[in-house]
Amino acid sequence: MPRSSTRTSSVRRSRSRRVGESAYGALLVARTGLMGLLALLLLVAGVWTSWNTAQYAMLVKAKERGTMTVVACRDKRCTGPYVPTAGDGRRRAKVSVAQAAAPDKGARIEVTVKPGTTHAVRTGLAGILHAWVPFAGSLLLAALVVAGGMRMRRTAWVMGLFGAVLLGAAFALL
């Protein structure tokens, strides 16, 4: 066999191997990018959901703040009378707060009332942590995606531990 034909077949095999490696590399990059987008989507959804409640628990401007006495709890809501702090609004016979954020019956908690509703949000550190629970859950889910799909285990551990600490602190304070 002439030398030129062996050289040509060797070059063809080398080229086809490079094309195969390039396609595999492109698939790896696409998988990593897709998993990164999925993790980002989970985190954005967690922040979006948490911010709906957290803004009332955290921000003090133009909010009606006061105390609520827990009288009754049913259907995942606790109700009771609301007494505003000095000049922050009017008394209300009945406002409701999420049962997970409310202590036992008869307890008084600091709340802020969402504008135009009778829904109250617990304030203070316990209320803020409770508001960020959906974000903590999204951190835990995104950690699984980052570890399994992106192979970034250390980053995933940090995200997962932060989410678990946030969840634990929220439930410890409530």
125-135 per-position pLDDT tens digit: 999 999 999 99
Check which CATH number belongs to the domain holding 116 and give it: 2.40.50
Q: Is residue 154 domain-resident? A: no
- Domains in the chain: how many in total? 1
pLDDT at residue 85 in the model: 85
Q: Is residue 65 domain-resident? A: yes
Q: Is residue 15 domain-resident? A: no
Q: How confident is the model at residue 156 (pLDDT cuts 50, 70, 90)?
A: very high
Q: What distance in Å separates the CA atoms of residue 48 and residue 46, rounded to the nearest whole number?
A: 5
Q: What would the pLDDT profile of 59-116 be if each residue is shown by its tens digit? A: 876 578 889 999 999 889 999 999 988 776 788 889 999 988 888 888 899 999 888 8
Residue 30 structure tokens: 């696409």
Q: Is residue 66 domain-resident? A: yes
> Averaged over 142-152, what is the pLDDT?
94
- Statement: residue 46 has pLDDT above 90: yes
Q: What distance in Å separates the CA atoms of residue 124 and residue 93, rounded to the nearest whole number?
A: 23
Q: Is residue 11 domain-resident? A: no
Q: Is residue 69 domain-resident? A: yes
Q: Is residue 170 domain-resident? A: no
| Closest C-alpha among 71, 74, 77, 59 to residue 115 | 59
Q: Is residue 116 domain-resident? A: yes
Q: What distance in Å separates the CA atoms of residue 110 and residue 156, rounded to the nearest whole number?
A: 36
For residue 119, give its domain range: 60-124
